[in-house]
Amino acid sequence: MLRLARKVMHHRWEYQGHMQGNTLVMLFQKTSTRTRVSFEAGMTELGGHAINLEWEKSNFTLSKVGLETRYLSRNAAIIMARLKAHDDVLEMARAATVPIINGCCNMYHPCQALADMLTISEDRAQAGTLGSDESIAGTKLTFIGAYNNVVNSLVSISAALGVKLTLVCPLRDEASIDQESRQRLKDRGLLTETLDVKAAVKDADYVYTDTWLDMEFFNDPSFAEEKERRIELMLPYQINAELLADSNAKIMHDMPIHPGYEMAEEVIECEQSIIFDQAENRLEAQKAIMLHLLHGLT
Ligand code: CP
């Protein structure tokens, strides 16, 4: 999939028209900027059409997920869903007769993980350090923040691609950790877990962070107390100029960014930042996912 994404990126116009006559339905139960835009722009560039369906304005609020999904499969060639609960994504997958793409749920963010690896792969290609067969195996990636859905997907994709992942995650809820993929990464000798953030950054090729509080709770007054607790715990782990003083690592963030929390304002567009490339690369990653699922391209 990563190789396909690189091909799509470098031969963009060769894939024009591949999705002609196909409709993508994008179902959103949570807010989005990048997932919404990149899937719709991707489908448009491939010659297909995308429909944005807001959960709250649809009859998913009135009926069963499975029944509504069975209907969608009759009109859509492919469905991307950003839902709150992973179980609902699984229910959609069981009910659908067309491919279902997880556009981020409470447990996983797989489309983001592919775009992240595409970004690393492109950055290494530009630096002349991409491995044979376009491999990024051995790349040292450090993630600092909460052990969340983004981390579960990073763990999973790192195990598949041989990326050495260091996690600095003082904030974790054991119930939301995908233990199976974590064990897979551990068994391959690719997982380090530490709270020594300075050392983890100094040794890294890439340093990545994400919000300390899931998007749907960030501005929710009923989470104000929990937000304060997290800020107090996590501020020593903020990515800022002082933390990066001894490091040449490139800086990543899946966005949206909360400046002054997980990342200091000065870092967002610093010389080492590849954050906007990373966000841009969602487009090619989504195209690769859709081309693979609908047309079996590799
Ligand atoms: N990174 C990401 O999924 O961005 P959005 O939430 O804006 O879609």
Look up the pTM and report it.
0.97
Neighbours of 7 (CB within 10 A): 18
The residue whose CA has the least distance to atom 4 of ligand 1 is: 34
Atom of ligand 1 lying closest to residue 36 CA: 8
* Angle separating helix axes 65-75 and 86-95, nearest 10 degrees: 50
The DSSP output letter for 16 is T
Cα(234)–Cα(229) distance, rounded to whole angstroms? 9
Atom of ligand 1 lying closest to residue 279 CA: 1
For residue 104, report the distance from its CA to the centre of ligand 1, in Å.
8
Taken in order of first residue, the domains within the chain and their CATH numbers are 2-108+282-295 (3.40.50.1370), 137-267 (3.40.50.1370)
pLDDT tens, residue by residue, 158-197:
999 999 999 999 999 999 999 999 999 999 999 999 999 9
What rounded mean pLDDT belongs to the chain?
A: 96
pLDDT-derived band of residue 214, with 50, 70 and 90 as boundaries? Answer: confident
Cα(61)–Cα(64) distance, rounded to whole angstroms? 8
